[in-house]
Structures are given as structure tokens and as C-alpha cells.
Amino acid sequence: ARIGARQHTKMCNQILAANNMLGVCESLRYASAAGLDADAVVRAVGAGAAGSWAMNNLGHKVVANDFAPGFMIEHMAKDLGIAVSEAERLGLELPGLANARRLYDALLAAGHGRDGTQALVLALDSPTNPAVSPCR
């Protein structure tokens, strides 16, 4: 079944939200590995050109390993599946979308479906075993 303009707009939002969350998690994983105060990085980056809703509202949760849901992984995985199907139907190859879907689907399979989307950081430590502890 084809989807309408509102659903396509939602898919645009979810593609951006998923990839933005990946950027937040990767940047904070990098900050930790570099020995930086990750909370200070959230504040600094959040106030700059790369700041985003995800960084400002979920960055500190990533740092604290707080995966309480706002928007759950199971819903993001469902939406990304729809987005991938529609992108294929439209003849689009969207590697960021494909990667985000792979990571969120791995977390879903590992039992993290009821966690918030910021639990994406769990998949970065071991893409083949996302149930491992997050980077500290």
C-alpha cells in the first residue's frame, strides 16, 4: 500500500532523527575515548552549529547510560522499516538509513525494544552483539 504526504513527511523526520541520534552517540563515544568530560561536550556542542534536539535532550542520558524511553526503539525500528521499503519503491539508495535500520534492528533483536532511542549507543560497542555494556 502506498503512503501519503503526511506519512512520507514522518519518514523524512525518522530518517533524520535516527541518523542524528547515531551522530550523538558516536560523538559522545569519541569524547569518552578521548578522555573528555562528556557532559561538558554535550553542553558545548549543544550550544553550537552541530547542536540538535537529540544532543540537548538525550545527550546527557547517553552519558549517564539512562535508556528510559521517550520514543522506544521498537517504534523507531518499525518506522525505519517503512522508510527503507518506501525508499526502495522510490528507487533510492540511502546508506545512512540502511545503517540506522541495521543498528536499531540489532538492538530490537537483543531485547532493547522498550528502551529509548538513545540506547543506540549500545550497538556501537559491538554491532554484532548490541547487548554489551555501553562505552563509559
What positions carry a catalytic annotation?
Answer: 10
| Contact by Cβ (8 Å): 135, 33 | yes
Give the whole-angstrom CA distance, residue 53 versus residue 76.
Answer: 16
Report which secondary-structure segment, H or E, holds 18: helix 5-33
Cell numbers placing 14: 525518522
- Determine the distance from the C-alpha atom of residue 51 to the mean position of all C-alpha atoms in its chain, rounded to a whole number: 15
- Determine the distance from the C-alpha atom of residue 7 to the mean position of all C-alpha atoms in its chain, rounded to a whole number: 20
